[in-house]
Homo-oligomer: A and B are copies of this chain.
Amino acid sequence: MSNSSSSRSPAAPAAPTVIVVDDDEQLREALSSLFRSVGLRVELYGSAAELLAAKPPAVPRCLVLDIRLPGVSGLDFQSQIATSPMNMPIIFMTGHGDIPMTVRAMKAGAVDFLTKPFRDQDMLDAVATALENDRKQSEADKASTDIRALYQSLTAREKEVMSLVTSGLMNKQVAAQINLSEITVKIHRGHVMRKMNAKSLADLVRMAETLGLGITKA
């Protein structure tokens, strides 16, 4: 069992994937072999539309994209993807780019912007950075999403109590604030702790921070 061929283990980290979108098939193939040579998975597409039609791979992944694409431009595609669930780090390539284009891409969060011809190592460095960013991002997203799900399982009152408690008020102060008896606040508070799966008040405060609670009504 020195793991070789069959890798259907559920806890497998899933090989990092690079998605290449370029209308030049030769370049696609060259990039594909470059990336595979360092152990990365690769998906190739000739246009943005093809990519959108496909199912996005598991994280970590990133996009390597020519700024000039058939159909939408690379920059437009960047803004499009940024607000979609398959948001991922982007590395641009260009043959005839200009500075304003570069600035726009970088402002919108591109990891790098390489001019053709580029050195293989520059591309690999950019991809490594992008994949690491994606890993971190999806990790943070998951934590945030999980907490948000728990939070949504709270009733309106419970959310209210959680907000006040995590802002540092004592039970009696919370009670006065929302016109309840202290004992009722304690009950809600207990429910909040259980439902949020918080093992301590410190825990709950950190969750409230992640949720952005308390900033809301300032």
The B-contacting residues of A in range 82-126, CB under 8 angstroms, are 94, 97-100, 102-103, 106-107, 112-113, 115
List residues of chain B with CB within 8 A of the CB of A107.
106, 112
Taking a contact as CB atoms under 8 Å apart, the answer to whether A103 and B94 are in contact is no
Q: Tally chain A residues at the interface, Cβ within 8 Å.
A: 26
A67 to chain B, nearest CB (A): 11
A199 in the interface (beta carbon within 8 A):
yes
A202 to chain B, nearest CB (A): 4
Whole-angstrom distance between the alpha carbons of A99 and B102 in the complex? 7
Taking a contact as CB atoms under 8 Å apart, the answer to whether A202 and B201 are in contact is yes
A209 in the interface (beta carbon within 8 A):
yes
List residues of chain B with CB within 8 A of the CB of A167.
202
From B102, B165, B206, contact of A103 by CB (8 A): B102
Besides A102-B103, A167-B202, A170-B200, 13 other CB < 8 A contacts? A94-B99, A97-B99, A98-B99, A99-B102, A102-B102, A103-B112, A103-B113, A106-B106, A165-B202, A166-B202, A201-B205, A202-B205, A206-B209
* A/B interface sample: 30 pairs, CB < 8 A: A94-B99, A97-B99, A99-B99, A99-B102, A99-B113, A99-B115, A100-B115, A102-B102, A102-B103, A102-B106, A102-B113, A103-B106, A103-B112, A106-B106, A106-B107, A107-B112, A165-B202, A166-B202, A168-B199, A168-B201, A168-B202, A168-B203, A169-B200, A201-B201, A201-B205, A202-B205, A205-B205, A205-B206, A206-B209, A209-B209
